[in-house]
Amino acid sequence: MNSVAPFAHEALFYRDEDTFLSGTARFVTDGITNGEPVLVAVPEASIAPLRERLGELANQVHFIDMTEAGRNPGRIIPGVLMAFSASTQLRFRMVGEPMWPGRSELEYPACVQHEALINTAFEGREGVILCPYDAAALPGHVLEDAWRTHPVVIDGERRAASEWYTDPAALTDLYNVPLPAPPADAEEHPFSVGTLAHVRKLVSAYAHGLRREQVEDLVLAVNELATNSILHASGRGVLRMWREDDAVVCEVSDTGAGFPPSFTGLSGFGIVMVNLLCDLVRTHTSHSGTTVRVYLGR
């Protein structure tokens, strides 16, 4: 009986377009040669050059613009990687670049949590995920975290096991950091069982200016979070709403223990749904309760 090949999660440090193309094209070509389905989820600007480098082999690759599909880091595991791996019974091969120059400090903790949780989400599965990092443009602390979230790092011709690899749950908890304080003019609405209909109306009215489908998504996401507070916390919570640039921000806080570290896509359909609906989801859990902040329209 053939043994199941272990799952591999590797980082690729590149410093220019040529090293990016060389490393990813080699990885993709090996997968196609082995008969493995291949996904490439990278920023759109990198897709055309990689297609050109691959030539006719590019027709056998599924490409996704990661800046769109993965603008919310919490969406990548359930909405991109797991969705692709679930589409095949074969050993899969995926390129995923979740951390590119231009990611904000607000998004960064969720990016690290995403990378850490890949190791848990795909444990025991047959496949390999390669995560490119622009080592010439990204800050040093980002590369340090890449060593902590990937068991193997490729840098030029050097491929090495990471001596700094960290337990995913521990690293996820390390980035369970407090969220910036809401602005002074944020609307604040306490809620409890029996007031969910009012919460939905409040969100719908506040989100005017977003597209109709975005308003519906935001109402659904906040309703899910408020319901979770009622069912699993103290039966009550607080909704806060404000605007940041073009985004509507809604925050639900309660005194509950919150979601387990695997909330990014491994457990609880509700929080997975919230991540799929919103442009960014940030969560902080402490001894005093849980706060989940969602952004739509960024």
pLDDT for 200 equals 98
Would you state the structure tokens that stand for residue 8, as one six-digit string? Answer: 């591999």
Tally of CB atoms within 10 A around 158: 8
Q: What is the pLDDT of residues 2-33, one digit of tens each?
A: 454 589 999 999 999 999 999 999 999 999 99
**Among 36, 32, 121, residue whose Cα is nearest residue 87:** 36
Q: Is the pLDDT of residue 247 over 60?
A: yes
pLDDT for 113 equals 96
Q: What is the pLDDT of residues 54-105, one digit of tens each?
A: 999 999 999 999 999 999 999 999 999 999 999 998 999 999 999 999 999 9
pLDDT for 63 equals 98
Mean pLDDT over all residues of the chain?
A: 93
Residues linked to residue 224 through DSSP beta bridges, in sequence order = none
Q: What is the pLDDT of residues 171-204, one digit of tens each?
A: 999 999 999 999 999 999 999 999 999 999 999 9
* pLDDT band at 222; cut points 50, 70, 90: very high
CATH code for residues 8-174: 3.40.50.300
Q: Is the pLDDT of residue 122 over 70?
A: yes
Please report, for the chain, the start and end positions of each structural domain, with discontinuous segments joined by +: 8-174, 187-296
Domains 8-174 and 187-296 share a fold: no
187-296 belongs to which homologous superfamily? Histidine kinase-like ATPase, C-terminal domain (3.30.565.10)
Q: Is the pLDDT of residue 50 over 70?
A: yes
Q: Is the pLDDT of residue 256 over 60?
A: yes
The H-or-E segment that residue 40 falls in is strand 38-42
